[in-house]
Amino acid sequence: MKSVIVGTAGHIDHGKTALVKALTGIDADRLEEEKRRGITIDIGFAHLDLPGPDGEIFRLGFVDVPGHERFVRNMLAGIGGIDLVLLVIAADESIKPQTREHFDICRQLSVSRGITVLTRSDLVDRETLDVVRLEVEDFLRGSFLDASHSPIIPVSSITGAGLDQLKQSLLKMASEVPAKDSTALARLPIDRVFTMKGFGPVVTGTLVTGSIRKDEELEVFPQGQRVRVRGVQVHGQPAEQALAGQRTALNLAGVAKADLERGMMLAPAATFHSTRRAEVSLSLLPSAKPLKDHARVHLHVYTSETIAQIVLHEQKQIASGETAFANLHLADPLLLLPGDRFIIRQFSPVITIGGGIVLDAWPLPRPIKHAQASFLKILVSNNPPEILKARIARRSDRGLSFAQAIAETGMRRELIEKHLADPTQKVHVLRAGDLLIQTAAIEAVKLALTETVSEFHRRNPLVAGMSKEALREKLDVGPEVFDLAVTRLVADKKLEVIGEFVRLPGHSVIMKDEEAESKKTIESAFASAGLKVPALKDVLAGLKVDRTRAQKIVTLLLRDKVLVKISEDLVFHRDALESLRKRMTEQKTTTPKMDVARFKDFAGVSRKYAIPLLEYLDREHVTRRVGDERVIL
């Protein structure tokens, strides 16, 4: 069964609700006030199953909207996400103000299919009907409802005239509607909230993408509250899951009715984020006045409404009928994704003046001005691999994680992987852990790495290499990007990694005569001292070089493990420690245990040296402390 959402549009009292009832047998006016006053105040819903010529069933879900100018905001809550529109024009009144406004709204939302219905045709004669048809044809010329490819059908909801023809046209057009993507991540804009006794809160909406199953965990945007789906209904019937394009009702657990309202959005938990800023392509209606930079407007996206400030890119205003890039600053956070269509209405008086499409709901805080325009042009190209590449490139050496890519684009990870692997596209992207990073950005990091290490060697001739962490902090790049760049440089033999240090290939310490002499003096002082080593500061004080260079020489000896630091104050020559280890091993056969006093006599040292040496032997697993004694292992 294929589901198609049909929206009505048109002026008040032109027979939209009566037409839906004549087609479906369902009265979409559900409110007592609507029935009492005889006008539609809020959106209503109905459905109709039509069999196709090959036996396939088409389920048409009707969204009936109010036509009164006071309720256009309610109309906007219902018209988002429709597949085709019935533009309803009364034959005895022809085109009226809300006919024009609703039609403009449909065009701004990029509705691409529809049927024009001339209702109340039983109230006019043939000549009048022909005149109205000509007026309507002229009004619609050049639009998606142009009579050359979209039918204009006179009907009467009272006599039933034209209804069969309308059903056949609906069936034909429904068969041409592309199937919605049920494999995408789900989003359900909430258009109605109520409580069912014994079940709890229920929300309804048109599922614009993806699918929702019973017991699935969802997130309510913009609050971020987690809920569980207790039950699913599709077009009023219980179901295990709802698919994109279906009128959907969800019974929710974990939330109260008071916490839910029209305009909120349901989506998979821990996937998306609400935003207060969005880059958009914005179009003004030819009938609208020019819109100035920083103007405030009413913004409508699916079922949500908020105030937005328009911040134009490099221009002072948008002229009537023109399109421009802009940044929207939202008064309330919304869940927006690229491709979402929106409507803007003048702040006061409130009339529809334009609309557009969301390009980027996560603009960078301070984008480079000259690069932003070219980035936005790529976003309108409708080329997913190129768009992904641009999103990765704009983050430079920070990279774009898969979680960020999913949140920014609304694509599942599998689809992102597919676009990146597209053989027809040159997507120069590398993987650094879970990050996606442009090849050019990695090359820039590699160049910075080699230059930084070279400069370090020039400034520090007595140091064999630069520590990895100091190098990474100097470049201010993430660990994943740093590791990838270093790995590639090592593979290209442009860097060497020795332990925790990075150096140029073949680099060795270059010492002046007095530095080489000092190095020999330090080593000799500790080698000759055995285990009764002097204080390091005393050794350094007698050198011919300054303290800074002397410390670097010590660091070099420690790195080469000629000297070994066993505590904050004690440094030993490696030969002395190796001799001690060997003697301890030999002692095991005669004296397997040793306390501090016995060790002092054995090693010929005072307690000042004995305690640190024993702790060193414990760390080296030569001994193990048991009470006040050491067991030789």
Q: How does pLDDT run across 194-207, given as a tens digit for each residue?
A: 998 888 999 999 99
Mapped to the 3 state alphabet, what secondary structure does 469-520 carry?
A: HHHHHHHCCCHHHHHHHHHHHHHCCCCEEECCEEECCCCCCCCCHHHHHHHH
**Phi, psi of 135, deg, nearest 5:** -60, -45
CB atoms inside a 10 Å sphere around CB 102? 27
For the residues 393-416, what does the mean pLDDT come to?
Answer: 94
pLDDT the model gives residue 505 = 92
**Is CATH 3.20.20.70 correct for 2-176?**
no
pLDDT the model gives residue 54 = 85
pLDDT-derived band at 235, boundaries 50, 70, 90: confident
pLDDT the model gives residue 36 = 64
Domain boundaries, the chain: 2-176, 188-268, 275-360, 532-632
Which are the contacts of 232, defined by CB distance < 8 A and separation ≥ 6? 212, 213, 214, 238, 239, 240, 241, 242, 248, 249, 250, 251
pLDDT the model gives residue 41 = 75
- DSSP class per residue in 216-268: -EEEEETTTEEEEEEEEEETTEEESEEETTSEEEEEEESS-GGG--TT-EEEE
Alpha-carbon torsion (566, 568, 570, 574), positive or negative: positive
Q: Regarding the domain delimited by 532-632, which CATH topology (the fold level of the hierarchy) does it fall under? A: Arc Repressor Mutant, subunit A (1.10.10)
Tens of pLDDT, residues 499-554: 888 999 987 766 677 877 888 888 899 999 999 999 888 888 888 888 888 888 88
How many Å from the N-terminal Cα to the C-terminal Cα in the chain? 77
Tens of pLDDT, residues 433-458: 899 999 999 999 999 999 999 999 88
Angle among Cα 569, 570, 572 to the nearest 5 degrees reads 155
pLDDT-derived band at 40, boundaries 50, 70, 90: confident
- Residue among 208, 207, 303 nearest 250 (CA): 207
Tens of pLDDT, residues 542-569: 888 888 888 888 888 887 789 999 988 8
Angle among Cα 355, 358, 360 to the nearest 5 degrees reads 150
What top-level class would CATH report for the domain 188-268?
mainly beta
Measured CA to CA, the distance from residue 440 to residue 450 in angstroms comes to 16
pLDDT-derived band at 414, boundaries 50, 70, 90: very high
pTM for the model stands at 0.81
Note whether 2-176 and 188-268 share their fold: no
Tens of pLDDT, residues 606-619: 999 999 999 999 99
Q: Please name the residue that has the structure tokens 């000042």.
A: 608
For the residues 213-235, what does the mean pLDDT come to?
Answer: 96
Contact assessment for residue 86 and residue 121, using Cβ atoms and an 8 Å cutoff: no
pLDDT-derived band at 90, boundaries 50, 70, 90: very high
Q: Please name the residue that has the structure tokens 């069936």.
A: 171
Angle among Cα 281, 347, 360 to the nearest 5 degrees reads 25
pLDDT the model gives residue 512 = 72
CB atoms inside a 10 Å sphere around CB 254? 16
Tens of pLDDT, residues 168-186: 999 999 999 998 889 999 9
pLDDT-derived band at 424, boundaries 50, 70, 90: confident
pLDDT the model gives residue 34 = 56
pLDDT the model gives residue 553 = 83
Structure tokens at 436: 């996606």
Contact assessment for residue 253 and residue 228, using Cβ atoms and an 8 Å cutoff: yes
Angle among Cα 411, 413, 416 to the nearest 5 degrees reads 65
- Residue among 254, 182, 181 nearest 220 (CA): 254
Residues paired with residue 209 on neighbouring β-strands, in sequence order: 187
Indicate the range of 259-273, 342-356, 425-439 predicted with least confidence: 425-439
Tens of pLDDT, residues 354-395: 999 999 999 988 766 667 888 999 999 888 999 999 999 999
CB atoms inside a 10 Å sphere around CB 124? 19
Structure tokens at 457: 């060697």
Query: Please, which contacts does 355-359 make with residues 24 or more away whose CB atoms are closer than 8 Å?
Result: 355/105, 355/108, 355/109, 355/282, 355/283, 356/108, 356/280, 356/281, 356/282, 356/283, 356/323, 356/326, 357/110, 357/280, 357/281, 358/278, 358/279, 358/280, 358/301, 359/278, 359/279, 359/280, 359/281, 359/325
Q: Regarding the domain delimited by 275-360, which CATH topology (the fold level of the hierarchy) does it fall under? A: Elongation Factor Tu (Ef-tu); domain 3 (2.40.30)
pLDDT the model gives residue 486 = 95
The CA–CA distances, whole Å, from 180 to 54, 81, 186, 454, 572 equal 21, 10, 11, 56, 74
Q: Please name the residue that has the structure tokens 């009832």.
A: 21
